[in-house]
Amino acid sequence: MARDVRPLFCTTHDTPLGPIGLAATSHGLSSLMLRVSPEGFHDYLLNSHGLTPTPDPRPFDRIRLFLDRYFVGKQIAFEGPFDLLTGTPFQRRVWATLLTIPYGQVRSYRWLAETVGNPGAYRAVGAANGANPVAVLVPCHRVINHNGGLGGYSGGIDIKRWLLALERVPLAALLPQLRLDGLVNQQRSA
């Protein structure tokens, strides 16, 4: 069976988080990588997809418009199209479920595991989040620990915190409950 080889286009785009890399085929967006250099992103695409990307900003006009609106605090819901060239069927189910989390809201890894039909698979959904090839637009930053902790983020916890603040998620609500209880108990005893 012949491999489906689609042309892969790429560009970088300046954001408040620094330059991001965008890659797409004629079928949709396939990669959004935070904090990249054009050369590093080109090499990543070549190594991860086995395709030689063609630098061309034109296919990304709509995506850049969405990103610019998002990064000034406008509520957006980017629905694609996506052409996810990597990922197992499980990872793709997780990524599709991430698209159901509304702007300005968070869900837990537990919720995500239950929603994709694997209730005990917290670590597996966390790993799938970390492998998300379209960060920000497939909003893996909206997934936190069930106790309110931020959890991890492949782009760095500082970026996750920044994205949640941009979406006006009250960061105090994300602190682990035990830590909050400890602060309340300290204030009572003072």
Contacts of 116 (CB under 8 A, 6+ apart): 90, 93, 94, 97, 125
| Residue 154: Cβ-neighbour burial (10 angstroms; 0-12, 13-18, 19+) | middle
From the candidates 85, 94, 136, 140, give the one annotated as an active-site residue: 140
Q: CA-CA distance, 153 to 31, in Å (whole number)? A: 16
As beta bridge partners, residue 20 has 13
3 state SS for 90-125:
HHHHHHHHHCCCCCCCCEEHHHHHHHCCCCCCHHHH
The residue assigned the tokens 């061309």 is: 56
Q: CA-CA distance, 76 to 78, in Å (whole number)? A: 6
Annotated active-site residue 140? The verdict is: yes
Q: CA-CA distance, 156 to 127, in Å (whole number)? A: 14
Residues with catalytic annotation? 140
